[in-house]
Amino acid sequence: MFQELQMAKDTLELKGYLDLEIDPTLDLIAEINKLKKEKNAIILAHYYQDSDIQDVADYIGDSLGLSQKAESTDADIIVFAGVHFMAETAKMLNPNKKVVLPDLKAGCSLADSCPAPLFKKFKEKYPDHVVVSYINCTAELKTLTDICCTSSNAVAIINSIPAEKGIIFAPDKNLGAYLIKKTGRDMILWDGACMVHEIFSREKITKLMHRYPDAKFIAHPECEAHILDMADFIGSTSQMLKFTQQDEANSFIVGTESGIIHQMELASPDKTFIPAPPETNCACNECPHMRLNTLEKLYLSMKYELPEIILEDWVVEKGRKCIDAMLDVSKAAGFKM
């Protein structure tokens, strides 16, 4: 008998259950689908998840779409196949639901680059400024934020702030620099960045462009300016996906986490997608945090309803305001799931 099958749920320690062995002959997809029905659970997955997780998800989307879905779902359990800040956002938007994340260690280098106590001190230097935080930040940072944004709606969010107001933008300096260029607003930037989007090589992308002269280079705004300068299109993951479906080009060099290519290939099977190469020969264009989630962990998290995202009431109450403000502006600007 496999260890996992022998243990009763109430004997499981949050720390230890991920080490359980799963019967390798178990049809995980069938089991996950069964658990979904039994528990009225919904699986929300980000585009950077492994393909097999995307294939079993009920909804796949970018950070904005996932937040909208988390807010509107009537499922009893939200299984978040993404990273910690995304699951926290889902919990803030729907605090009465149980939210589980297959691997609690699935964090985010960008969120980690802006610890709330340091940011609090930084913010005190600019008391009259509006704080706009990219949704890729901790729940605690959201309690210090006036309005959130995602890469889909960031321009609309900045434009919604009265012109005479100063703006602090956290935590992504690359997205911030892109927004300064795009909106003409002068913003104070926090010095944070995403480890995945900072590894692309301008030289290697240039070589690829020469090798595939008809390919379009598409990039995520978390990339550095010298990479964005080369791009034919800049957008969030869902905007990049849409662009590849609607554009007449037949091949694309994709400047973001390579997990998105799965949906691009499903949507446009006759087109070619080339992952933009990193500086080194590593697989650094795969997010090491996102990829901590596996189908096995997804199954275990649904079966044992662990690990659960728990937030203090004050964090939910205070942190939610900036997400609600973002969703209101997004709705008015016509952003749909």
Residues at the site binding ligand 13P, with contacts judged by CB under 6 A: 62-63, 136, 150-151, 194, 222, 236-237
Show Cβ contacts of residue 207 under 8 Å, excluding neighbours closer than 6 positions.
none
3-state secondary structure 251-317: EEEEECCHHHHHHHHHHCCCCEEEECCECCCCCCCCCCCHHHCCHHHHHHHHHHCCCECCCCHHHHH
Q: Please select the residue that binds ligand SF4; options are 289, 297, 303, 320, rule is CB under 6 A.
A: 289
Q: Cα–Cα distance between 267 and 185 in angstroms, integer?
A: 36
Residue 136 contacts ligand SF4 per CB under 6 A: yes
The 8-class DSSP code of residue 129 comes to P
* Least spacing, CB of residue 83 vs ligand SF4, in Å: 4
Nearer to ligand SF4, 109 or 330 (CB): 109
* Least spacing, CB of residue 166 vs ligand 13P, in Å: 25
DSSP β-bridge partners for residue 61: 46
Q: Which stretch binds ligand SF4 (CB under 6 A): 114-122, 161-169, 285-293, 319-327?
A: 285-293
Residue 292 contacts ligand SF4 per CB under 6 A: no
* Least spacing, CB of residue 221 vs ligand SF4, in Å: 11
The structure tokens 């969120």 sit at 111
Nearer to ligand SF4, 136 or 301 (CB): 136
Question: By rule CB under 6 A, what string of x and - marks binding of each residue 33-52 to ligand SF4?
Answer: ---------------x----
Residue 63 contacts ligand SF4 per CB under 6 A: no
Q: Cα–Cα distance between 32 and 56 in angstroms, integer?
A: 8
- DSSP letters spanning 320-335: HHHHHHHHHHHHHTT-
